[in-house]
Amino acid sequence: MERQFTLIALFAALIAVLGLVPKFTLASGIPITAQGMGIMLCGTVLGARRGALAVLLFLGLVALGLPLLAGGRGGLGVFAGPTVGFLIGFPIAAFVTGWIMERMRGAPVFPAAIIAAVIGGILVLYIPGILGMVAMLELSVTQATLSMAPFIPGDLIKAGLAAALTAALYKARPSSVLSRA
């Protein structure tokens, strides 16, 4: 009981830390911001409900004025801006990611996690994200989608990395992967 609570709190902190450290580099030299991976990890590791709670806790702190979004951004302003759809999408993405992860308990961790992360962390995330841009910027769905399309390859890589991290975490600390409990 206590451990579930502290895992939620510490994964909220983890999302922040993954956004605050300098960007990581892939072998090819491309830099990536790891914060999106943190959102996916909340789902793949903590499962649907707890993963979503961790993300909501994180967002709550951002709203309260802590500069925890990648690049040190935060405050109410980010919720008034055009990326608000993505922010709303974060906890939903974590929930769906976790939900898929929990449903696929029979499969090995890596393939389950990558499917969960791609569907939850990308597909499900971009829907409210793009709708948010449509509403705030009065763009068409096509225009908004095209604007966000360049980010998708990077997100696919992040989903793969999140899956690899989940698999490695399951080997090192199996009891911490609540989605498999």
Partner 1 sequence: MLTLTSEIRTPYHRMRAGAKLAALCAATVALFVMDSIAAMALASAAVAGLYLVPGMRFARAGLGLLKPVWFFVALVLLWHGLTGDLQLGTVIALRLIAAVALANLVTMTSRFDDLVEVVMWGLSPLKRLGVRTAPLGFAIVLVVRFIPVMLDKARLLIDAWRARSPRRPGWQVALPITLVAVDDAEHVAEALRARGGFDMD
Partner 2 sequence: MTPDSTAIGPVRLTGVTHGFGDRSVLRDLSLTLSERRIGIVGRNGSGKTTLSRLIAGLIAPEAGQVTVAGVDVARDRKAAIRTVGILFQNPDHQIIFPTVEEELAFGLRQLGHDKTAARAEAHTMLARFGRADWAERPVAALSQGQRHLVCLMSVLAMAPRVIVLDEPFAGLDLPTTRALRRYLDAVPAQVIHVSHDIAALSGYDRAIWLEGGAIAADGPAEATLAAYLQAMEALGDADADL
Asked if 27 interacts with partner 2 (CB under 8 A), we say no
CB of 172 to partner 2, least distance (A): 4
1 binds, among partner 1, partner 2, none (CB under 5 to 8 A by kind): partner 1
The answer to whether residue 96 forms part of the interface with partner 1 (CB under 8 A) is no
Residue choice 3, 23, 105, 173 for contact with partner 2 (CB under 8 A): 173
Asked if 181 interacts with partner 1 (CB under 8 A), we say: no
**10 binds partner 2, rule: CB under 8 A:** no
Query: Residues 49, 172, 178, 180: which binds partner 2 (CB under 8 A)?
Result: 172
105 binds partner 2 (CB under 8 A): no
23 interacts with partner 2 by CB under 8 A: no
Least separation in angstroms between CB 32 and partner 1: 7
Tell me if 163 contacts partner 1 by CB under 8 A.
no
27 binds partner 1 (CB under 8 A): yes
CA pseudo-torsion sign 107, 100, 145, 14: negative
Q: Give DSSP secondary structure letters for the chain.
A: -HHHHHHHHHHHHHHHHHHHSPPEE-TTS-EE-THHHHHHHHHHHH-HHHHHHHHHHHHHHHHTT---BTTTB-STHHHHSTTHHHHHHHHHHHHHHHHHHHHTTTS-HHHHHHHHHHIIIIIIHHHHHHHHHHHHH---HHHHHHHHGGGHHHHHHHHHHHHHHHHHHHHH-GGG-GGG-
Binding site for partner 2 (CB under 8 A): 168, 171-173
